[in-house]
Amino acid sequence: MADKKQNKELVVNHFYTEKVEMFDNEFLLFRTTQSKDVWQFRMWNGTTQSYTRKSTRQRDIERAKRVGTQYWKEILATQDAETVNNKKKREKRKGKGCKTLESFYLFEGEVKVYRVAQSGNVWQIYIWIREEQKAIKKSLRTKDTNEARRRAEDIYLDYRVKERYGQAIFDKKAKELADMYIEYQQSRCKQGSITQQFVKTLQTRMNHYL
């Protein structure tokens, strides 16, 4: 229990210490304990469907704003307008059940806690994992706001601890496990323990299962 608490305290050191939203939140300038006094840049790229993060290499906020604005213009110039517009159209087609009724953010916007029409009064959590290009989305299984906040904090801190120590964040899919199994059997085949025909038979069975 003490080790888990210590790990969570280590994770806290990566949080934002200061942030400035630019041009109606088109991009964000921020500093963390790791970056010390150097301002960082973050912007959502609609074409790559991911965040672009860079260091401005500036400690002065006004200079950081100028560098950030230049980054912003460069990213806008390279974005595929059709891709960005398609994303907006898909969002408009979402059903009423997906409409957010209420939400709040934790850890400087890294965690979104929200309720949608189809979930009633039950709180949900959303965390975008940039490195995996996946999101942690799950029900917090509570209607109480304070309890939802506590559970969301635990989920986020557990994720950061796993990230820090290189542990798997998401469960592997069946195809990934099957590929790993066939790769292992191929290594046995190279060693002469089994035949290539046997590996092919296993592959056929795996494909049938999938």
Query: Exposed, middle or buried by CB within 10 Å (0-12, 13-18, 19+), for 119?
Result: middle
11 pLDDT above the threshold of 50: no
pLDDT tens string 114-150: 988 777 789 999 988 877 677 888 899 899 999 999 9
68 pLDDT above the threshold of 70: yes
Choice between 49 and 81, residue whose per-residue pLDDT is larger = 49
8 pLDDT above the threshold of 60: no
Choice between 141 and 91, residue whose per-residue pLDDT is larger = 141
pLDDT confidence of residue 48: 77
The DSSP secondary structure of the chain, one letter per residue, reads -HHHHHHHHHHHTTSEEEEEEETTTTEEEEEETTTTT--EEEEEETTTTEEEEEE---SSHHHHHHHHHHHHHHHHHHS-HHHHHHHHHHHHT--GGG-EEEEEEETTTTEEEEEEGGGTT--EEEEEETTTTEEEEEE---S-HHHHHHHHHHHHHHHHHHHHTT--SSPPPHHHHHHHHHHHHHHHHHTTSS-HHHHHHHHHHHHHH-
pLDDT tens string 152-184: 999 989 888 887 877 766 666 778 778 888 888
Average pLDDT, the chain: 79
pLDDT confidence of residue 10: 40
pTM of the model: 0.41
Lowest-pLDDT choice from 19-28, 99-108, 142-151, 166-175: 166-175
The residue extents of the domains of the chain are 10-88, 95-164, 174-209
